[in-house]
Amino acid sequence: MIKILDRIFKYIGIGAVLLGLIVLAVLVLDVVRDGFPRLTWDFFTSYPSSKPEQAGILSAWVGTLWIMLTTAALTIPLGIGAAIYLEEYAPKNRWTDFIEINIANLAGVPSVVYGILGLGLFVRALHMDRSVLAGSCTLALLVLPIVILSTREALRAVPSSIREAAYAVGATRWQAISGQVLPAAFGNILTGIILAMSRAIGETAPLVTLGALTYIPFLPTPPVSVSPSFPYVNFSLKGLLDPFTVLPIQIFNWVSRPQKGFLICAAAGIIVLLIITLCLNGAAIYLRHKHQKNW
């Protein structure tokens, strides 16, 4: 009797595992069916439009690229730095415990609350307006706990014998960390960063809360431009202060429209967004698998 129950439970278990995967498959099929025909070259090179058949995601994917790069530039050094401090330097005391609890809590704060933080802090108090910079600062704070927690785990996985070996040849603490511990943990740190970036790319709510406009028929000032006169090539960071839109916001905007044509645009945009996130996650899984070392 109990044996039969055991067998039955096993199949229920397989069913439970498969449930999520089946839903995911249905979701992908549904979106591809709706949106695939809309995925033309023009879709990538057109600005949003009031006519669904002319609308495109040019400003959205360029904005996503801007946001992704600036968020990465902000969050990677800060997150890795914090993780190194907590894992390798911080004394074991109440203050450190407090920081740890604080980070664990920040990891669970709803993303829309980060949007409110960005609105109050970056948009209003620091007068960044609804710029690329305000958006990426907000997202950087949002994914910072993810980077910190995964980097700490990566550092913890480096055996202490590596640190001892470095100390034994006269390394200072920073020399041991920068020369041996960080390179040894590199693969796992990278995995965490990729996952954090994947999260940042998909976030909608905090940027909506910031007030990131949804109709943006222009691009941020390009960082590099060519001119016919001296100095021929211009570098500019002015784009950081320009308004922007990103893929998820564009999709949200289209989903909220009643016309069928915009829903098709949304589906097409979702295909692009899904490809990006699934690629990033695939890369992360591959990296984690590859760097599972046995010391």
244, 230, 270: which is closest to 60 by C-alpha?
244
Which of 59, 64, 111, 150 lies at the binding interface for other proteins (CB under 8 A)?
Answer: 111
Min separation Cβ 168 and other proteins, Å: 4
Which of 53, 124, 218, 238 lies at the binding interface for other proteins (CB under 8 A)?
Answer: 124
Question: Nearer to other proteins by C-beta: 136 or 198?
Answer: 198
Stretch that binds other proteins, among 40-48, 50-58, 168-176, 219-227 (CB under 8 A): 168-176
C-alpha span between 225 and 80 (Å, rounded)? 32
C-alpha span between 137 and 66 (Å, rounded)? 12
Question: Nearer to other proteins by C-beta: 140 or 239?
Answer: 140
H/E stretch holding 224:
strand 224-226
Helix/strand/coil for 131: strand
Helix/strand/coil for 284: helix
Q: Which of residues 228-247 bind other proteins (CB under 8 A)?
A: none
Instruction: State the number of binding residues for other proteins (CB under 8 A).
Output: 114
Task: Give the burial string for 19-56 (b: 16+ CB within 10 Å, else e).
Answer: eeeeeeeeeeeebbebbeebbeeebeebbbeeebeebb
Min separation Cβ 137 and other proteins, Å: 11
Helix segments in 107-159, DSSP class H: 111-118, 132-156
Stretch that binds other proteins, among 52-60, 71-79, 216-224, 236-244 (CB under 8 A): 71-79
Instruction: Based on DSSP, count helices (H) and strands (E) in the chain, helices before strands.
Output: 12, 2
Question: Nearer to other proteins by C-beta: 124 or 238?
Answer: 124
Q: Is 274 in the site for other proteins (CB under 8 A)?
A: yes
Q: Which of residues 72-101 bind other proteins (CB under 8 A)?
A: 77-82, 84-86, 88-92, 98-99, 101
Q: Which of residues 22-41 bind other proteins (CB under 8 A)?
A: 23-24, 26-27, 30-31, 34
Question: Nearer to other proteins by C-beta: 69 or 283?
Answer: 283
- CB neighbours (10 Å) of residue 117? 18
Nearest 5 degrees, angle CA 82-CA 188-CA 287? 150
Which of 67, 210, 240, 287 lies at the binding interface for other proteins (CB under 8 A)?
Answer: 210
Q: Is 149 in the site for other proteins (CB under 8 A)?
A: no
291, 281, 71, 85: which is closest to 183 by C-alpha?
291
Min separation Cβ 222 and other proteins, Å: 26
Which of 195, 196, 216, 268 lies at the binding interface for other proteins (CB under 8 A)?
Answer: 195
Which of 32, 65, 116, 283 lies at the binding interface for other proteins (CB under 8 A)?
Answer: 116
